[in-house]
């Protein structure tokens, strides 16, 4: 079907696709299949080939190349991949999203569903670039879902554009929509050989013009405190309250290494989930550093904190487990400079002044790059991901569509001119 990126986006965000961190199924929530099945139908409706949804919730499809026989780039252009994820973060509700299409005229935005939720210019200076333009917010009771349904809409609209304008030259393009990126499992069953692309790009960034070639390296730490519970009326000398020990751990985490006190290349240690009662409490902590060896320093810091608190609460049992999540894509992008050069030139041709910016996040692209599929990241126009104040610049989304359309053409030119 022919539709604008905005029309697609508004349709997609109304479908609840929130993933679940502790689930063992694939996808982690069955409701993600509602959107994945819709995308299968839409891809087939556009006339794409090899459209398939596998048992793990990965949708793949092919846009065949259109270079005629004898074209100097035919057979030399690598198959390009375009990837976005359908799930939304467990950090805020994704149910009954009510997108608000706003002709923005400046100032703070109080959201209609909960007037305590305000998108403030002081926290969102990019709003000033959108005066007189259209933006989209949620009603303030849910997240919006621009992360990453904007990316899905961008890819679908770019594909529609290429098919509608066969004079735009491109090689073979592979599309993939993944589930469960927000819980770190989006590429767990991603078969790179089956995908068949030699280079790919995730469309999962934020501010227009920002391109990402480096991400955090990431680990997760889980601290478990075991205590002993008994009725508080007869607890003297018997109860061992795990929450008290966990509180002492929390206050010892470094405040100068937190998301709310760091930016740019600065690392952080981020406690983000706490569950518990007297007998047992569990704290999940995100460890992030652009310099991968820095994660070992963070581990040592946590070990020291655990040892100190264990001594203060000898009747508890405190455990620390650290698991690897992903690594900085910059360390694995390889020596083919075209991967980044083509993206930069495409954004420039789309009318932007591109900038390379480290992304303080990133899962699918980092993991795929580490596994051998170079996968830098493209902006979507979204802001304030994972929160009730999430919003989307429609012009930014449209610029991303233009960047993707230019990208496949720049690759043809690069390969045409190559020796």
Domain 217-325 fold: Alpha-Beta Plaits (3.30.70)
Residue 78 C-beta-side C-alpha neighbours within 13 Å: 20
Taking CA atoms, 182 is separated from 29, 187, 217, 233, 362, in Å, by 12, 11, 16, 43, 9
Sign (positive or negative) of CA dihedral 255, 258, 260, 263: positive
Q: 256 catalytic, yes or no?
A: no
The number of residues in the chain equals 419
pLDDT tens track for 57-70: 999 999 999 999 98
Q: Which residues of the chain have pLDDT under 70?
A: 1, 417-419
68, 78 contact by CB (below 8 A): no
Q: On the CB side of 413, how many CA atoms lie within 13 Å of its CA?
A: 11
Instruction: State the pLDDT at residue 363.
Output: 79
Position 234 scores a pLDDT of 94
Catalytic annotation present for 188: no
pLDDT of 389: 98
Token pair recorded at residue 333: 């992008």
pLDDT, tens only, 182-198: 998 889 999 999 999 99
Nearest to 367, CA basis, from 86, 85, 129: 85
pLDDT at residue number 13: 98
Domain spans, the chain = 5-215+328-417, 217-325
Q: Answer for the pair 409, 170: CB distance below 8 angstroms, yes or no.
A: yes
Which position among 181, 219, 345, 370 bears the catalytic label?
181
Partners of residue 210 on adjacent β-strands:
355
Quickly tell me which residue has 């100097």 as its tokens: 72
Contact 13, 149 (CB under 8 A): yes
Take residue 344 and report the two structure tokens written for it.
């930069």
Catalytic residue among 87, 204, 219, 370: 87
Q: What is the dihedral sign for C-alpha 13, 325, 366, 175? A: negative
pLDDT score for 22 = 86
Please provide residue 38's backbone torsions phi and psi, each rounded to the nearest 5 degrees: -60, -40
Beta bridge partner(s), residue 377: 202, 212
Q: Specify whether domain 5-215+328-417 bears CATH 1.20.1070.10.
A: no
H or E segment and range at residue 13: helix 5-13
Taking the model in full, what pTM does it have?
A: 0.93
Distance CA 113, CA 116 (A): 9
Question: Quick one: which of 212, 249, 147, 167 has its CA closest to 360?
Answer: 212
* Contact between residue 208 and residue 379 where contact means Cβ atoms under 8 Å apart: yes
């Amino acid at each position: 079907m022919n539709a604008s990126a905005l029309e697609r986006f508004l349709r997609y965000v109304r479908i609840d696709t929130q993933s679940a961190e502790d689930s063992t199924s694939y996808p982690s929530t069955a409701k993600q299949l509602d959107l994945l099945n819709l995308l299968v139908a839409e891809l087939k409706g556009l006339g794409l080939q090899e459209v398939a949804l596998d048992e793990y919730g990965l949708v793949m499809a092919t846009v065949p190349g259109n270079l005629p026989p004898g074209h100097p780039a035919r057979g030399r252009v690598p198959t390009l991949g375009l990837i976005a994820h359908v799930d939304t973060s467990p950090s805020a509700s994704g149910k009954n999203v009510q997108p608000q299409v706003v002709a923005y005229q400046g100032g703070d935005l109080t959201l209609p569903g909960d007037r305590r939720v305000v998108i403030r210019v002081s926290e969102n200076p990019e709003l000033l670039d959108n005066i007189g333009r259209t933006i989209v917010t949620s009603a303030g009771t849910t997240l919006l879902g621009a992360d990453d349904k904007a990316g899905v809409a961008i890819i679908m609209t770019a594909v529609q554009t290429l098919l509608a304008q066969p004079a735009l030259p491109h090689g073979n393009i592979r599309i993939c929509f993944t589930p469960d990126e927000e819980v770190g499992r989006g590429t767990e069953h991603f078969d790179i050989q089956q995908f068949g692309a030699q280079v790919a790009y995730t469309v999962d960034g934020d501010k227009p013009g920002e391109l990402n070639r480096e991400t955090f390296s990431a680990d997760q730490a889980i601290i478990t405190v075991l205590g002993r519970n008994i009725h508080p009326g007869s607890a003297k000398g018997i109860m061992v309250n795990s929450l008290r020990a966990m509180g002492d751990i929390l206050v010892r985490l470094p405040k100068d290494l937190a998301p709310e006190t760091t930016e740019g290349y600065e690392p952080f240690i981020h406690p983000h989930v706490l569950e518990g009662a007297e007998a047992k409490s569990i704290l999940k902590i995100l460890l992030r550093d652009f310099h991968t060896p820095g994660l070992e320093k963070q581990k040592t810091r946590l070990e020291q904190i655990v040892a100190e608190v264990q001594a203060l609460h000898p009747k508890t049992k405190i455990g620390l487990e650290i698991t690897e999540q992903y690594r900085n894509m910059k360390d694995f992008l390889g020596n083919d400079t075209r991967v980044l050069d083509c993206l930069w030139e495409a954004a420039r041709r789309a009318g932007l002044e591109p900038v390379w910016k480290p992304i303080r996040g990133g899962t699918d692209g980092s993991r795929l790059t580490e596994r051998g599929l170079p996968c830098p990241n493209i902006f979507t126009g979204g802001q304030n991901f994972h929160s009730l104040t999430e919003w989307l610049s429609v012009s930014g989304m449209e610029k991303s569509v233009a960047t993707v359309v230019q990208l496949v053409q720049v690759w043809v030119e690069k390969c045409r001119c190559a020796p």
